[in-house]
Amino acid sequence: MAISKEKMSSLEKRTIEEYKIDSLILMENAGMAIFNEIKDKDSFTIICGCGNNGGDGLVIARHLILTGKSVEIFIIGNSKTKEFSNNLEILEKLSNNINYIKEGDYDDLIESLEVNEVCVDAIFGIGLNRNLDEIYVDVIDIINRHGNYIVSVDIPSGMDADTGEEYGNCVAANVTYAISDIKIGETLNSSVGEIKKLYIGIVRFKDE
């Protein structure tokens, strides 16, 4: 059964506040779950926004690096969440291959996408509720044109989690790993590709 983003946010908030399961633990669980799904590949381009969806991407990147994979990380945006910043600090000690995307300067990203087997889309999560700035429209277009096999973290970037509508552009994923639950909007837009639900330890009960 698919759920709304309001319900998903409520379950996550209760898990953190009532059951005292730290948000960093949930992020680690999400990143590890996706890592385990894609670790058989050898080379990766991971594109992260600066929110918690991007934080999931950084966790994925860390575990791939620690298991000897070839990983290039690209970061887009400026307003970093605490969880993102914590994971970036760890990753900076493990990799010199962290790049920051600037509007109009996409050559390195294109080359990385064309060379590497897998693109991990970790730009936006279910909280997106506005039209995309031009740089995000451009980067998503580049992902769709140059990515060899595209994996989206929780939801394809650019998609509304409730309606499936697109905010100017949307990643066309080969597979989307829905964290904890499939969102309603993901059932209404084929850009999700194959969709798989992953357990990360969100507290819920059978009647929810």
Binding residue per annotation — 154?
yes
d(C-alpha 58, C-alpha 167), whole Å: 24
Helix axes 52-66, 23-38, angle to 10 degrees: 50
Binding residue per annotation — 55?
yes
Full DSSP string of 53-91: HHHHHHHHHHHHHHTT-EEEEEE--S---HHHHHHHHHH
Q: Is 22 exposed, middle or buried (CB count within 10 Å of its CB: 0-12, 13-18, 19+)?
A: exposed
Binding residue per annotation — 129?
yes
**Who's near 46: CB < 8 A, 6+ residues apart?**
57, 58, 60, 61, 64, 71, 72, 73, 74, 119, 120, 122
Half-sphere exposure of 133 (CA within 13 A, CB side): 9
Binding residue per annotation — 51?
no
Binding residue per annotation — 128?
yes
Binding residue per annotation — 52?
yes
* Pairing of β 43-48 and β 194-198: unpaired
Binding residue per annotation — 204?
no
Compute the chain's Rg from CA coordinates: 16
Binding residue per annotation — 31?
no
Q: What does DSSP assign to residue 131?
A: P
Binding residue per annotation — 168?
no
- What are the tokens at 81? 């969440």
Binding residue per annotation — 131?
yes
Binding residue per annotation — 177?
no
Binding residue per annotation — 207?
no
Residue ranges for the known binding site for (6S)-NADPHX are 52-56, 125-131, 136, 154
Residue ranges for the known binding site are 52-56, 121, 125-131, 136, 154, 157
Residue ranges for the known binding site for K(+) are 53, 121, 157
